[in-house]
Amino acid sequence: MQISNPTRRLAEFLLGGVVLVNHAAFSANVDYFTDNGFGNPSSTLQHPTGEFYKGTTYLAYQGPHEDSYVCAYNHARREWSGPVLAGVSLMGKTPDPIDNSDVDNHGKPAMMVDRKGFIHVVYGAHGGSPLLGRNPFGAPAGTPRGGKLTHLVSKNPEDISSWEVVDNVSPFGTYPQFVQMDDGGVYLFYRHGSHRSDWVFQKSTDDGRTFAPPVSVLKHKAQPTDVTVHDAWYAWFAKGRGDTITASYIYHPCANPGHTKDRHNAYFMRMDCGDDSWDNIAGERLTLPVTKESADQKTLIFNTGAERCNHGTCRVDREGNPHVFFRYDKGQVRYSRWTGSVWTGPTAVLPEGGSGGQDGDMIVESSTTVRMLLTSSNGDKGEVGWWNTTDGGQTWAKQPPLLSRVGGGYGIGALVENFTPEGMVVVSASISSQHLYRQMILLGTDGPVKRPEAEAANIVKDLLKIMKTGPLKSGDKQVLAVKKGKKKEKYMEEE
Ligand code: ZN
């Protein structure tokens, strides 16, 4: 039984130690497992955010000060543990900002559980900084505030209570993505620096204890016609059929001066982990790193023209054919699949003129039956629920929402790795417009996995005490934002 003394808990927090949570009896159950998510606590681009392993779902997310926290849920005992502060982020601020544009949000964690049950978390960077040395694959962040990519491993298997740093990944990395193969091989993909950097992977064959040096997959470089604009990418990597890894990605023309939100086109390619070679969808060998020119020529799914489009996720069917979605302006998802000879669509999952805010992941049941688990928003109403197709993506049917609220939307990550139907995805929800702490929800087919309120709900209250901001009054947010100087830093404007 853990100690329930709130003074001890506050002291632990101030010292950067473990946040202990009282296991209270006779407490009403709530839908969330903690309220110390912070800013954008999880997203699809840092993934997995959770993994089911031997009866327990382990979850990592961004908490106060952009630090990485871990929780675990034992399904048979219906018992939560955590949140545990696994690692402190160099990018965090104290006190916690109350405006999300003052939060970098790039250092949120990706996690995995290795074959022996050790839990791995990679987190904490938006490109590193020049102080960390020369970046061989791109540009470090322009200021020391780019953090440092850090790899943590639990000291004991199946135990989230204590952590150690394993110094074996590049400090410049951002958007970490773990892909674990059936033979235990681990590929850690990430962008090797700020947006003007290559996407790379590091490979481990010893459960993440050592990693081979980075290998560049997608190349950043100045455009031949305008050297002030750089080819840049946002990419999403996941396990394909058998011993393969899929990459679905979009193009970002990075203008100078000033990073812009320009994002276009959708691309796909595939890695054969037998020899780490890459092919396009037609099976044609690619030369690494893939440049904009070769991507356009060999890996294009569709050209979006002037329309903006951002990355989504990619899952494969039994034949190994990829199903992808990308997010267009206003957060509208469009879907496409490879039939074996052509890419379909892309088809809007929402009817024209419908709501937006769509993001999430999908389950491919067959080449024609796909279920997407998506957030969506309409005005100030937010929902999370299924959108299903049984005709290969030509039409989509919205199911009754699993979560619904008025007064804000939801954040969502990629599907929990190896998920059980009880806990498929982590969703975050704002609590108040006056601070950035978030309720964190593990959502399954029957709705949220519950937790006693006394375990889940006392963190924000304590943190507000620590911050001495108390309950904020109307107008305080504006005043505080101006006081702090709300000038955005360039590198913070990414996605
Ligand atoms: Zn850029």
Label residue 491 by pLDDT band (50, 70, 90): very low
- Identify the H or E element spanning 483: helix 476-484
Percent of all residues in the chain with a pLDDT value above 90, rounded to a whole number:
72
- ∠ at Cα 397 (396, 398), nearest 5°? 120
Which CATH code for domain 6-480? 2.130.10.120
Domain boundaries along the sequence of the chain = 6-480
| 413 Cα to the center of ligand 1, angstroms | 23
Rg (CA), the chain: 22
As annotated, the active-site residues are 106, 175
For range 33-48, the mean pLDDT: 96
Mean pLDDT of the chain: 88
| 104 Cα to the center of ligand 1, angstroms | 15
For range 434-439, the mean pLDDT: 91
For range 55-84, the mean pLDDT: 97
Higher pLDDT, 73 or 257: 73
**Which structure tokens are listed for 234?**
């946002």
Q: How far is CA 108 from CA 98, 161, 376, 476, in A?
A: 18, 19, 22, 27
Residue 14: its pLDDT value, please?
Answer: 38
- Across 143-147, 183-187, 212-216, 231-235, least confident range: 143-147
Question: Which stretches of 275-342 are assigned E, i.e. beta strand?
Answer: 277-279, 300-302, 309-310, 314-316, 322-328, 332-337
Residue type, 237: F
| 490 Cα to the center of ligand 1, angstroms | 9
Evaluate if residue 259 carries a pLDDT over 80.
Answer: no
289: preceding bond cis by omega (within 30 degrees): yes
**Which structure tokens are listed for 243?**
């011993």
For range 398-421, the mean pLDDT: 95
**Which structure tokens are listed for 323?**
């199903």
For range 357-378, the mean pLDDT: 95
| 222 Cα to the center of ligand 1, angstroms | 12
Residue 274, class by beta-carbon neighbours within 10 Å (0-12 exposed, 13-18 middle, 19+ buried)?
Answer: exposed
For range 361-387, the mean pLDDT: 94
| 274 Cα to the center of ligand 1, angstroms | 34
Q: Work out whether strand 68-74 and strand 79-87 pair parallel, antiparallel, or are unpaired.
A: antiparallel
For range 51-72, the mean pLDDT: 97
| 486 Cα to the center of ligand 1, angstroms | 21
Residue 479: its pLDDT value, please?
Answer: 39
Residue 354: its pLDDT value, please?
Answer: 64
| 261 Cα to the center of ligand 1, angstroms | 7
Evaluate if residue 145 carries a pLDDT over 80.
Answer: no
**Which structure tokens are listed for 20?**
């202990």
Evaluate if residue 13 carries a pLDDT over 70.
Answer: no
**What whole-number distance in Å separates Cα of residue 347 and Cα of residue 328?**
11
Q: Write the CB contacts of 32 (distance below 8 Å, at least 6 apart in sequence).
A: 429, 439, 440, 441, 448, 451, 456, 457
For range 412-427, the mean pLDDT: 98
- Across 33-37, 327-331, 341-345, least confident range: 327-331
Evaluate if residue 127 carries a pLDDT over 80.
Answer: yes
Q: How far is CA 323 from CA 20, 101, 290, 311, 347, in A?
A: 42, 33, 21, 13, 12
- State pTM to two decimals: 0.89
Residue 362: its pLDDT value, please?
Answer: 97
In the three-class reduction of DSSP (H, G, I as helix; E, B as strand; rest coil), residue 386 is classed as strand
Q: What residues sit around ligand 1, an ion, with C-beta below 5 angstroms?
A: 195, 254, 259
- Across 253-257, 278-282, 344-348, 409-413, least confident range: 253-257
**448-470 residue pLDDT tens:** 999 999 999 867 666 666 555 55
- Across 113-117, 251-255, 258-262, least confident range: 258-262
